[in-house]
C-alpha cells in the first residue's frame, strides 16, 4: 500500500526563492526559475528545434515541483508554428503542491498566467497514482504520477524523446539520482532521446553513462558554470500506428462511445455500429447509475483502478460540459454504508490509513450519515462528496457529440460476423453484406461479444440486472445516492432507481416480481422502513445484461490470437489478433471505468504514454486469462 501523498510544504529562502524544508533545497536557482527552465531543460534538449516535423513529442521529467518546466515547454510549443501535433509531458512528483500554493507561486510569472491558470483548473486531487490531464484542446497531454519515483518510474510506459532531470540536489535527494532511476530512464528512452540537467555531480555523470547515455558539459545558468546534456545510445522504438487511422467500434454504450470519442480526439475517423436505434440502449440504458470509487485497506488493483477511473471520469464530465455537451448527471455525493459494525470499522480504518483529501472521501458516523441521507439510518460509512449519479445514455450521446467531426454512426445494423482481409477488418450482416470496414476494430458490444469467434478466449459472462423504478417527488429523501448491498438514487424525472439484482447466465428479459421484492429488501436494508409503501407487484423497472468478468476487472486491450498459453508467459509475448481490441467485462461498474478505458485504449491504439500504471494495464489485459484459471463466480456490485 503506498503511503498517503504528503503535499509539499511551501516555504521561501531569504532571497524569496521557493524552498523545501523537507529536502533543505530550493525549487530553482535564485537567478530565476523560468530562465532556468528555458536554458537548461529546453535549451539542453535542443528544443524547440528537435521536435519540429514530428507528429508527437514526449518529454519525461523527474520532479514536477512548481510546474515551471512544463509551463515553459507548453509555451514554447504554442509559440512554434512548426510544433508537433501533440505534446506529451510525463512527470513524477512525490510531494505535489496544493492548488492554493500553486496559485501563490505562479503569481511570480505573469507572462505564464493563462497557461498556469489552465493548469490549476485541471489540477488533480492529491492522491497516489497516475493522473492524465488534457490541455490546449487535447493537444497537450500532461501525465502526472504522484508518488515515489523509485516505485512509479518502473510503472510508466512512454517512449521519451527528451528527459528533464530536475529533482532536488543529489546531496539532498539521492534516491532521485540513483542507478535505479537512471536504468528506468534508459528503459523509457526512444532512440536518440536527449536529456538535460543542471547537475554535473560526478556520480550523476557516471550513473547516466553506465545506463547508456553519452554526456557533454554545456554552459550553465545563473550562478552555475556548467550543466549536463546527453543522448541515449539505445532506446526502444515505439510501435507504429496503422498507416490508415480508421477504427470500427462495435457497440454504442458507455464503453464504445468513450473509446470512439478518445480516438476521434486524436484525429481518427471512427464508425460505430449498434443494432439499437440510438446510443446507450443496452446495458447502458438505465435512468441513473452510481458513480463512485471502491477503496480498500490494501489499495488493491480494484481500488486503484476505480480510483483512477473515478478521477479521470470527473475530469471527462467537466470537459464535456465545457465543450457544450453536458451529461445528465449530478454530484450529489454517494453514501456507502457499512453492512454491519465490523465493516464500518474496516471502512474507518481505510480512511485512517490512506488519509485521503476530505473532498474525495471521509468516514461519517451514523448520525452524520442520517443527516446526509435525510433519513434515520442504523450505520455510518464512507462519504464520497464528489460522487453521484449519471444517466448513462446522456454520457453516450455527449461522447458522440464531442467527437462528431470524426465519428459516424450506423444504428439499426446487426453485426453477425467479422472478417480480416488485407490488413482491414470488415463487419458483415446476416446476408454477408459489409456494414463498414476499418484498420482497427474495437469490440465494446457488451454480452454480444460472446457471439464472435474472434473473442472466444474472453470469459465474458452475461449478468442479468433488474432495477426497480419507484415513484418519487422532487426534493424527497434521499437527495444523495446511498449504497449498502444495493443502491438507491435520488429522484430523477419523478422516478427513483433502486437495485439492482445481479444474476449470471440468466437470459430472461422480463420484469420479475421476485427481483422487485429482492430490490425492496435491499432498499429496506439501506434505508430502514423506506420500502414499506411500495408494492412489488405493481412496480415498473428495467432489465439489462452486463458483461461480467471472473476477476471483477474489465477486459481492455488487444485480443489474443491463441486460445492457450504456457503459464508464466509474459503478456507481451502472447500473440494478438492484428488491430483487434476489446473493451468488455465492466460488470456493474461501467460508469466509473468507461472514460478512463476509452483513454487507455486510444493510447494503446494510437501510441503515446499510457494513462495507467503498467501493472494495472496488465491486470486489464484480455490475455491474462490464458495464464491463470478463472476464479469461480463473477461477483456483483452494490
Whole-number CA gyration radius for the chain: 26
Tell me the C-alpha distance between 374 and 571, whole Å: 49
Q: What nine digits make up the cell of 175?
A: 534516491
Q: Which of 135, 93, 143 is nearest to 116 (CA)?
A: 135
Q: Which of 491, 487, 490, 482 is nearest to 500 (CA)?
A: 487
Mean pLDDT, consecutive 10-residue segments, the chain of 638 residues? Answer: 89 87 82 90 98 96 96 98 98 97 95 98 98 97 97 97 93 93 97 96 96 96 92 89 92 97 97 96 90 97 98 98 97 98 97 97 98 98 98 97 96 96 95 97 96 95 96 96 97 95 93 97 97 96 94 96 92 96 95 98 97 98 86 44
Q: Which of 134, 406, 397 is nearest to 247 (CA)?
A: 406
Neighbouring-strand partners of residue 337? 381
Q: What nine digits make up the cell of 582?
A: 476489446
pLDDT at 631: 54
pLDDT at 19: 81
Q: Which of 151, 150, 102 is nearest to 126 (CA)?
A: 102
Tell me the C-alpha distance between 172 and 311, whole Å: 33
Q: Which residues are CB-contacts of 14 (< 8 A; sequence separation ≥ 6)?
A: none
pLDDT at 635: 40
Residue tagged 480480416 (cell numbers): 420
Does domain 11-232 sit in CATH 3.90.1310.10?
Answer: no
Q: Where are the alpha helices (DSSP H) in 10-157?
A: 33-36, 43-44, 68-79, 99-106, 113-122, 149-152
**What is the spatial order of strands in the sheet that 25-26 belongs to?**
11-12, 18-20, 25-26
Contact 400, 260 (CB under 8 A): yes
How do the domains of the chain map onto residue ranges?
11-232, 246-282+393-458+550-626, 324-390+461-548
CATH, range 324-390+461-548 = 3.30.9.10
Contact 488, 528 (CB under 8 A): no
Contact 309, 553 (CB under 8 A): no
Reported as half-sphere exposure (CB side, CA atoms, 13 A), residue 122 has a value of 26
DSSP 92: E
Q: Which of 90, 125, 94, 120 is nearest to 107 (CA)?
A: 120
DSSP 436: E
User: What are the phi and psi torsion angles at 547 (to 5°)?
Assistant: -75, 115
Q: Which of 191, 196, 161 is nearest to 50 (CA)?
A: 161
Residue 118 parent element (H or E): helix 113-122
- What is 246-282+393-458+550-626's CATH superfamily? FAD/NAD(P)-binding domain (3.50.50.60)
Helix (H, G, I), strand (E, B) or coil at 544: strand
Q: What nine digits make up the cell of 367?
A: 448520525
Amino acid at each position: 500500500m503506498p503511503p498517503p501523498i504528503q503535499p509539499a510544504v511551501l516555504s521561501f529562502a531569504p532571497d524569496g526563492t521557493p524552498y523545501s524544508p523537507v529536502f533543505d533545497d530550493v525549487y530553482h536557482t535564485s537567478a530565476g526559475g523560468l530562465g532556468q527552465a528555458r536554458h537548461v531543460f529546453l535549451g539542453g534538449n535542443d528544443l524547440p528545434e528537435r521536435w519540429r516535423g514530428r507528429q508527437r513529442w514526449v518529454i519525461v521529467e523527474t520532479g514536477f515541483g512548481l510546474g515551471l518546466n512544463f509551463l515553459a515547454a507548453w509555451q514554447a510549443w504554442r509559440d512554434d508554428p512548426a510544433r508537433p501535433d501533440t505534446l506529451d509531458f510525463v512527470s513524477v512528483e512525490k510531494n505535489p503542491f496544493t492548488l492554493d500554493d500553486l496559485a501563490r507561486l505562479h503569481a511570480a510569472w505573469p507572462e505564464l498566467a493563462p497557461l498556469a491558470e489552465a493548469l490549476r483548473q485541471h489540477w488533480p486531487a492529491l492522491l497516489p497514482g497516475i493522473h492524465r490531464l488534457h490541455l490546449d484542446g487535447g493537444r497537450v497531454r500532461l501525465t502526472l504520477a504522484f508518488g515515489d519515483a523509485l516505485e512509479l518510474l518502473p510503472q510508466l510506459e512512454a517512449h521519451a524523446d527528451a528527459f528533464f532531470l530536475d529533482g532536488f540536489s543529489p546531496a539532498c535527494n539521492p534516491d532521485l539520482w540513483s542507478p535505479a532511476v537512471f536504468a528506468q530512464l534508459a528503459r523509457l528512452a526512444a532512440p536518440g532521446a536527449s536529456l538535460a540537467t543542471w547537475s554535473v555531480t560526478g556520480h550523476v555523470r557516471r550513473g547516466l553513462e553506465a545506463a547508456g547515455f553519452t554526456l557533454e558539459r554545456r554552459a550553465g545558468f545563473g550562478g552555475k558554470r556548467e550543466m549536463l546534456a546527453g543522448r541515449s545510445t539505445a532506446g526502444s522504438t515505439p510501435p507504429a500506428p496503422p498507416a490508415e487511422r480508421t477504427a470500427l467500434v462495435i457497440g454504442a454504450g458507455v464503453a464504445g462511445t468513450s473509446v470512439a470519442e478518445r480516438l476521434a480526439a486524436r484525429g481518427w475517423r471512427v464508425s460505430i455500429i449498434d443494432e439499437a436505434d440510438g446510443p446507450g440502449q443496452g446495458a447502458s440504458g438505465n435512468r441513473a447509475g452510481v458513480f463512485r470509487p471502491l477503496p480498500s485497506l490494501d489499495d488493491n488493483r480494484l481500488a486503484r483502478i476505480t480510483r483512477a477511473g473515478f478521477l479521470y471520469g470527473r475530469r471527462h464530465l467537466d470537459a464535456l460540459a465545457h465543450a457544450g455537451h453536458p451529461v445528465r448527471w449530478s454530484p450529489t455525493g454517494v453514501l456507502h454504508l457499512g453492512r454491519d459494525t465490523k465493516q464500518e470499522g474496516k471502512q474507518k480504518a481505510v480512511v485512517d490509513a490512506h488519509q485521503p483529501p476530505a473532498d474525495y472521501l471521509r468516514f461519517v458516523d451514523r448520525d452524520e450519515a442520517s443527516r446526509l441521507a435525510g433519513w434515520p439510518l442504523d450505520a455510518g460509512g464512507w462519504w464520497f462528496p464528489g460522487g453521484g449519479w449519471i444517466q448513462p445514455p446522456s454520457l453516450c450521446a455527449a461522447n458522440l457529440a464531442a467527437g462528431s467531426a470524426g465519428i459516424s454512426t450506423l444504428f439499426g445494423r446487426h453485426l453477425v460476423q467479422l472478417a480480416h482481409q488485407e490488413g482491414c477488418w470488415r463487419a458483415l450482416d446476416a446476408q454477408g453484406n459489409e456494414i463498414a470496414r476499418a484498420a482497427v476494430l474495437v469490440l465494446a458490444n457488451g454480452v454480444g461479444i460472446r457471439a464472435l469467434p474472434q473473442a472466444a478466449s474472453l470469459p465474458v459472462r452475461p449478468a442479468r440486472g433488474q432495477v426497480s423504478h419507484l415513484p418519487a417527488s422532487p426534493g424527497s429523501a434521499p437527495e444523495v445516492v446511498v449504497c449498502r448491498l444495493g443502491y438507491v438514487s435520488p429522484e430523477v424525472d419523478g422516478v427513483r432507481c433502486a437495485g439492482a439484482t445481479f444474476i449470471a447466465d440468466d437470459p430472461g428479459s422480463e420484469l420479475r416480481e421476485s427481483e422487485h421484492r429482492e430490490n425492496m429488501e435491499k432498499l429496506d436494508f439501506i434505508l430502514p422502513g423506506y420500502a414499506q409503501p411500495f408494492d412489488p407487484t405493481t412496480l415498473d423497472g428495467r432489465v439489462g445484461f452486463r458483461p461480467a468478468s471472473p476477476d471483477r476487472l474489465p477486459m481492455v486491450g488487444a485480443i489474443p490470437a491463441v486460445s492457450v498459453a504456457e503459464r508464466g508467459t509474459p503478456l507481451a509475448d502472447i500473440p494478438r489478433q492484428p488491430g483487434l481490441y476489446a473493451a468488455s467485462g465492466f460488470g456493474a461498474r461501467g460508469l466509473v471505468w468507461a472514460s478512463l478505458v476509452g483513454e487507455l485504449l486510444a493510447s494503446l491504439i494510437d501510441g503515446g504514454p499510457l494513462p495507467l500504471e503498467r501493472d494495472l494495464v496488465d491486470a486489464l489485459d484480455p490475455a491474462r486469462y490464458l495464464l491463470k484459471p478463472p476464479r469461480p463466480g463473477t461477483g456483483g456490485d452494490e
